[in-house]
Amino acid sequence: MARFINAADPSEVVLGNSTSSVLRILAHCWGQTLQAGDEIIVTNSDHEANISPWRDLQSQGVILKTWTVNPDTFELDLADLAALLTDRTRLVAVTQTSNLLGTLNPIRSISDLVHDRGALLCVDGVAYAPHRLIDVQAWDVDFYAFSLYKVYGPHLGLLYGKREHLLALPGFNHSFIGPEVIPYKLQPGGVSYELTASLPGILDYLQGLAQHHWRADTAPDERGQLTQAFDLIAAHEAQLSDRLLTYLRTKPQVRIIGRDTADAQQRVPTISFVVAGRNSSEIPPYLDAQQIGIRYGHFYAPQLVDDLGLAEQDGVVRVSMVHYNTLEECDRLIAALDAVL
């Protein structure tokens, strides 16, 4: 897994039950190093996994600030973050890709700004990881978390932390496990043998994609093959996004919540929308009957739904596509939606 995310050392990889779990542990341990008056910045577009643990630190006097999405563009503006940063800012917690908006946030630019102000960066990569290759060193993130089942593996969560940060953390495991014992001091009770034994299969699968599609031009090394696999994934997913977004733009009663472009540099094929005069909860049941799985709600980003004024509409309708979906399946989805909208 260290090779998968391009960590500098395997000891920088902490495994746990879920992304919510590993971020809770991180916040609990790192929070012990804070003082009253220290500041943490979260966004209103993150999954609650990367908001609630930091919000809870307010009970010890930590000040929480919120970096909010522009309600007109659905974007996080770097200038707004710059205005929130002070010499008391200790951490910025941000999603790499909103699991509601599907927007790709500029993590390296965020990282540079945050580090220039002397703070650390914690990134939730759950909605990014199925669609693009992770590179924690290239982005210079301090902490990074995602779910391994989102990358076609077992139901585990992964937390990356720079080695110096993990060593400085108080432990979460038994008292006799010293502060230098990473990652074990942050993995209470150990991790499921059965689930961790399957982790190499993630790389096998992705390398298999590259080897199958690139054939004679397959990269000679593992990282190169992972890059090729995710290049294929991004290209195919852009076609899926374009097919659905093109259709949705023809419907005047539909409002796309997020970028309406299929550009693979700007979004992933997680596409949300609302329909004027309709509750979002009305639409998915029609498609369930046709064995098409889309869902509605806030998708664990209730603050964003509230701030966009969509709560009374039962949140958004969300279509979540990945590389193994086909254009034919997308067309079947569109035909089903057309009968409902």
Per the structure block, which two tokens stand in for 211? Answer: 């080897």
Q: Could you tell me whether strands 13-16 and 157-161 are parallel, antiparallel, or unpaired per DSSP bridges?
A: antiparallel
Q: Could you tell me whether strands 39-43 and 63-67 are parallel, antiparallel, or unpaired per DSSP bridges?
A: parallel
Q: What is the CATH number of the domain that holds 269?
A: 3.90.1150.10
pLDDT mean over 195-224: 96
Determine the Cα–Cα distance for residues 47 and 168; give it in Å rounded to an integer: 27
Which amino acid does the sequence have at 61? Answer: G
Same domain? For 194 and 227 the reply is no
Per-residue model confidence as pLDDT tens digits over 116-147 = 999 999 999 999 999 999 999 999 999 999 99
Say if 56 falls within a structural domain. yes
User: Taking the model in full, what pTM does it have?
Assistant: 0.97
Same domain? For 187 and 289 the reply is no
Phi-psi region of 297 (alpha: psi -120 to 50; beta: other; left: phi over 0): left
Same domain? For 165 and 19 the reply is yes
Same domain? For 53 and 107 the reply is yes
Based on the structure, what is the number of domains in the chain? 2
Per-residue pLDDT band for 290 (boundaries 50, 70, 90) equals: very high
Per-residue model confidence as pLDDT tens digits over 151-185 = 999 999 999 999 999 999 999 999 999 999 999 99
Check whether 54 has a pLDDT greater than 90.
Answer: yes
Per-residue pLDDT band for 65 (boundaries 50, 70, 90) equals: very high
Same domain? For 156 and 233 the reply is no
Per-residue pLDDT band for 149 (boundaries 50, 70, 90) equals: very high
Per-residue pLDDT band for 189 (boundaries 50, 70, 90) equals: confident
At 257 the pLDDT is 98
Same domain? For 132 and 278 the reply is no
Check whether 253 has a pLDDT greater than 90.
Answer: yes
Same domain? For 60 and 120 the reply is yes
Per-residue pLDDT band for 190 (boundaries 50, 70, 90) equals: confident
Per-residue model confidence as pLDDT tens digits over 68-86 = 999 999 999 999 999 999 9
At 167 the pLDDT is 97
Domain that holds residue 178: 2-198
Per-residue pLDDT band for 20 (boundaries 50, 70, 90) equals: very high
At 4 the pLDDT is 98
Same domain? For 117 and 156 the reply is yes
Per-residue pLDDT band for 338 (boundaries 50, 70, 90) equals: very high
